[in-house]
């Protein structure tokens, strides 16, 4: 299983009036973690889009929040590839602060062409993700 951890510090603008990170920011962080995982294995979103002519559309996203993150917290977002389908890929995420698990999530993406028509994952990409 491919795994990569990205660290980030919570910015003030990501918090709500209660000083807690607003829930939708986690989805942005998951995108950052996915992009860094791909970069870490030698591929980028740009290559997938421009060279392979593919898009990775989000089909499903689920997040379980366990404990709040707050301004200036240093977080680690671990991202793993957990399932490869013919034209889909599933990533899991774990957001931690020190040893505390703050959130666990999963996103499933479908590969499509530029028009949104589902496409099979190219073998070269499958090989680096396996």
Catalytic-role residue among 16, 72, 100, 113: 16
Per-residue model confidence as pLDDT tens digits over 24-80 = 999 999 999 999 999 999 989 899 999 999 999 999 999 999 999 999 999 999 999
Pick the CATH number of 3-129 from 3.40.50.300, 3.10.129.10, 3.40.50.1820, 3.40.50.2300: 3.10.129.10
Neighbours of 65 (CB within 10 A): 15
Residue 100 a catalytic site member: no
How do strand 74-84 and strand 3-9 relate by DSSP bridges?
A: antiparallel
> Rounded to the nearest 5°, which phi and psi values hold at 50?
-80, -45
Q: What pLDDT was estimated at residue 60?
A: 98
Q: What pLDDT was estimated at residue 1?
A: 76
Say yes or no to pLDDT of 113 above 80.
yes
Q: Is 62 exposed, middle or buried (0-12, 13-18, 19+ CB in 10 A)?
A: exposed
Determine the 3-state secondary structure of 93 from DSSP.
Answer: strand
pLDDT higher at 24 or 1? 24
Report the distance separating Cα 54 and Cα 18, nearest Å.
40
């Amino acid at each position: 299983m491919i795994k990569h951890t990205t660290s980030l510090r919570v910015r003030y603008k990501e918090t709500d009036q209660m000083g807690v990170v607003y829930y939708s920011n986690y989805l942005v962080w998951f995108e950052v973690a996915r992009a860094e995982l791909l970069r870490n294995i030698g591929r980028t979103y740009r290559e997938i889009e421009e060279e392979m002519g593919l898009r990775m559309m989000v089909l499903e996203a689920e997040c379980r929040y366990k404990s709040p993150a707050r301004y200036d917290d240093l977080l680690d977002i671990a991202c793993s590839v957990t399932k490869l389908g013919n034209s889909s890929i599933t990533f899991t995420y774990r957001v931690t602060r020190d040893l505390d698990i703050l959130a666990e999530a999963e996103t499933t993406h479908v590969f499509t062409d530029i028009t949104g028509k589902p496409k099979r994952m190219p073998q070269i990409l499958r090989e680096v993700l396996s």
